[in-house]
Amino acid sequence: MDSMKTVRIGGAAAAWGDTIHGARQLVEKGEVDYLIGDYLAEVTMALLARARSKAPDGGFIPDWLASVRPLLPQIRQRGIRLVTNSGGMNPLACRDAFLAAAAEAGLAFRVAVVLGDDLLPAEVKIRAAQPVEMFSGAALPAAFASINAYLGASAIARALADGADVVITGRVVDSAMALGPLMHEFGWTAEDYDRLAAGSLAGHVLECGAQATGGLFTDWEEVADGWDDMGFPIVECAADGSFVVTKPAGTGGKVSRGTVAEQIVYEIGDPRSYRLPDATCDFSQVRIEEIGRDRVRVSGARGRAPGGDYKVCATHVDGFRLLTTYMIAGWQAGAKGRRTAEALVARVGRLLAMRGMAPFREVSIEVIGAEDTYGANARVTEAREVVVKIGLRHDDARALELFAREFAHPGVAMAQGLTGVLHGRPKPVPVLKVHSFLWPKAKVPVEVLVDGASLSVDVASGAEAPAPPPHDAPHAAAVEGPTVAVPLRALAWGRSGDKGNHANIGLIARDPAFFPALAAGVDASRVAAFFAHYLEGEVRRYVLPGFHALNFLLEDVLGGGGTASLRYDPQAKTYAQMLLDLPVEVPAAWLDEGGPLSGWAAVENG
């Protein structure tokens, strides 16, 4: 293993729908060895399965090919290798489309395809075993739209070892697209758990694109320049698993301790037990150091043996939903808008009963602008313009179609000031719900296809090693003298996201000296109280002493999550920013001239 070797990997996409121009930036300016494209989310597989059922050559993400097609001559010339999960539900068709594009450009690439994640052919065996939903304990649904195992990195490493220039996968864990190249380049084995965890962390930093390089940063005003050309992330990886996060020179964005830390806490749940197919990772002692402008070194990830199961994401249709909005303005706009929505829903409910139809399964009304999403924490007392969101669920699409026909009635019969119905009648759509469960790795044969030849892949299967004990929160020294309440944002950066119906909120102390006050001031009970209007489960707090952070897991808080939710924010994208208004007590002297919060006080006081 060459201890001086460095491998540069660029992350060109965060999801299906991200810009297709990240690839050009990284190819032309990034000097990368590998370019990865991450496009899949939980419900994306069901959408792709539907596309494949309509057309045999459908079911993959077209954006990846659109992003690399014009760059193929440069990619070939520079020797950049491509890894992507854009194969989705049809990686073979994705391969064929890429090969056709390469042939059109007069270029030849050795393309490998990773297969085995699609478990629909094994549905009979799965139903016989009756695995329950891993979060809720629910039984299997009557029918599936898709069933996909989250494969690991070993198949990608196998393909690269066989000389593949391009590796196209279906469902793999996002981080595997970076870990696979690192296993190949450095010769890491399936038992090098610390390095596998470190490589997985590098992939985790890359997988959300510009979110690691200033995108969505709490201090957005510090990244005011360059939003029109945000830099995409590059990791420079060493053989020991440490890596430096950077971005192409001359691009927008910012790489700092805060931007990288926010991405690390994003959606990780228990940081001591971030479970992946190749290793169970412990990120709680990770260290983050700024070593230059737009250069941040990350080290200290630890790993242990993974379990013998894959996480499987299955999707199924669970009735229908309708979501729509309108604007209303004027005196007491919030109250007018809410009453209008309630009256409209009640009117349609009465019409349903007259037809002998069941009532709506679920109704969600949120007045955006009146701070309904804040619950008891709302501060607005008199909003003069608001957007009213109505969400409905029913087993019969006809019930939602009846609502759609009545949707315009309030504009001529209820409160004045209603407008913004820009797209006509809303339309009901099927609800795609996620059913996650564990399935033995031994029952999931994984193979790599290269030039018509099939390569087998050995996947380690064993018992997960026990987790280390939880870390204690830092002890806050007794405060002498007066204290003052400051918003949490004065002490911390924050980032939030979703895992199914659960939300994840990470908080990172802006200064290590703030960590004891942060830990003392924000515990699980305060977070639970803040989100009590949504919370149906427990809140768990985890401590990450390595970079002075806390991570909160809010169970059953998203109204079903993803496309199953009727909420305006079904993925907890706003949760951290809302929580950063929480008041926290600190010594009053911190705000005095020369104190650690004097700069913040000057900004807040104008």
Contact 7, 243 (CB under 8 A): no
Q: Where are the alpha helices (DSSP H) in 79-175?
A: 91-104, 123-129, 154-161
Angle at 106 between CA 57 and CA 99, to 5 degrees: 20
Q: Which residues contact 292 (CB under 8 A, 6 or more apart)?
A: none
Q: Which of 276-285, 467-476, 524-533 has the lowest mean pLDDT?
A: 467-476
Q: Which of 2-16, 355-369, 520-534 has the lowest mean pLDDT?
A: 2-16
Mean pLDDT for the stretch of residues 62-72: 98
Please tell me the predicted confidence (pLDDT) of residue 464. 81
Please tell me the predicted confidence (pLDDT) of residue 475. 82
Arithmetic mean of pLDDT over the chain? 94
Contact 150, 171 (CB under 8 A): yes
Backbone angles phi, psi at 520, to 5 degrees: -70, -35
Nearest residue to 239 via CA among 509, 582, 6, 580: 6
pLDDT tens-place string over residues 127-142: 999 999 998 899 999 9
Please tell me the predicted confidence (pLDDT) of residue 103. 98
Contact 506, 245 (CB under 8 A): no
pLDDT tens-place string over residues 421-433: 767 789 999 998 9
Mean pLDDT for the stretch of residues 452-478: 84
Nearest residue to 147 via CA among 168, 167, 129, 165: 129
The model's confidence at residue 302, banded by pLDDT at 50, 70 and 90, is very high
Burial (CB < 10 A; 0-12, 13-18, 19+), residue 9, is: buried
Nearest residue to 564 via CA among 378, 436, 437: 436
Contact 556, 502 (CB under 8 A): yes
Res. 215: pLDDT tops 60: yes
Contact 61, 86 (CB under 8 A): yes
Domain ranges in the chain are 6-116+151-267, 314-433, 483-604
Mean pLDDT for the stretch of residues 512-520: 95
Beta strands in 194-257 (DSSP E): 234-238, 243-246
More confident residue, 157 or 451: 157
pLDDT tens-place string over residues 247-296: 999 999 999 999 999 999 999 999 999 999 999 999 999 999 999 999 99
- The span from the CA of 100 to the CA of 98, in Å, is 5
> DSSP secondary-structure letter at 15?
S
Q: Which residues contact 166 (CB under 8 A, 6 or more apart)?
A: 81, 82, 83, 84, 98, 109, 110, 111, 112
Nearest residue to 519 via CA among 541, 495, 490, 496: 541
Res. 150: pLDDT tops 90: yes
Please tell me the predicted confidence (pLDDT) of residue 458. 87
Helix 154-161 to helix 176-186 angle (10° resolution) is 50
CATH 3.30.300: does it fit domain 314-433? yes
Please tell me the predicted confidence (pLDDT) of residue 510. 97
Please tell me the predicted confidence (pLDDT) of residue 605. 60
In the Cβ-directed half-sphere of 307, how many Cα atoms lie within 13 Å? Answer: 12
> DSSP secondary-structure letter at 384?
S
Strands 6-11 and 34-37: parallel
Number of helical H runs and strand E runs in the chain: 17, 26
Please tell me the predicted confidence (pLDDT) of residue 50. 84
- The span from the CA of 503 to the CA of 268, in Å, is 10
pLDDT tens-place string over residues 179-204: 999 999 999 999 999 999 999 999 99
> DSSP secondary-structure letter at 153?
S
> DSSP secondary-structure letter at 279?
-
Sign of CA dihedral 253, 256, 262, 263: positive
- The span from the CA of 592 to the CA of 102, in Å, is 64
> DSSP secondary-structure letter at 123?
H
The model's confidence at residue 95, banded by pLDDT at 50, 70 and 90, is very high
Strand partners, 436: 313
In the Cβ-directed half-sphere of 111, how many Cα atoms lie within 13 Å? Answer: 21
pLDDT tens-place string over residues 111-122: 999 999 999 999
More confident residue, 83 or 481: 83
In a 3-state reduction of DSSP, which class is residue 40?
Answer: coil
Contact 151, 173 (CB under 8 A): yes
- The span from the CA of 148 to the CA of 498, in Å, is 19
Q: Which residues contact 66 (CB under 8 A, 6 or more apart)?
A: 20
pLDDT tens-place string over residues 558-603: 999 988 899 999 999 999 999 999 999 999 999 998 999 988 865 6
Q: Which of 50-59, 139-148, 492-501 has the lowest mean pLDDT?
A: 50-59
pLDDT tens-place string over residues 322-353: 999 999 999 999 999 999 999 999 999 999 99
Please tell me the predicted confidence (pLDDT) of residue 260. 98
Burial (CB < 10 A; 0-12, 13-18, 19+), residue 455, is: middle
Strand partners, 317: 432
Token pair for residue 370? 């009146």
Mean pLDDT for the stretch of residues 205-224: 95
The model's confidence at residue 1, banded by pLDDT at 50, 70 and 90, is low
Please tell me the predicted confidence (pLDDT) of residue 562. 86
Contact 506, 495 (CB under 8 A): yes
The model's confidence at residue 225, banded by pLDDT at 50, 70 and 90, is confident
- What is the percent of the chain where pLDDT is above 70? 99
The model's confidence at residue 604, banded by pLDDT at 50, 70 and 90, is low
Nearest residue to 459 via CA among 48, 221, 176: 176
Tell me how far CA of residue 329 lies from CA of 333, 345, 369, 384, in angstroms.
5, 20, 11, 5
Contact 290, 244 (CB under 8 A): no
Please tell me the predicted confidence (pLDDT) of residue 381. 79
Please tell me the predicted confidence (pLDDT) of residue 4. 84
Please tell me the predicted confidence (pLDDT) of residue 477. 73
- The span from the CA of 191 to the CA of 252, in Å, is 39
Mean pLDDT for the stretch of residues 45-63: 90
Nearest residue to 67 via CA among 54, 52, 80: 80
- Total number of residues shown for the chain: 606
- The span from the CA of 589 to the CA of 16, in Å, is 48
- The span from the CA of 595 to the CA of 597, in Å, is 5
pLDDT tens-place string over residues 534-560: 999 999 999 999 999 999 999 999 999
The model's confidence at residue 606, banded by pLDDT at 50, 70 and 90, is low
Please tell me the predicted confidence (pLDDT) of residue 601. 63
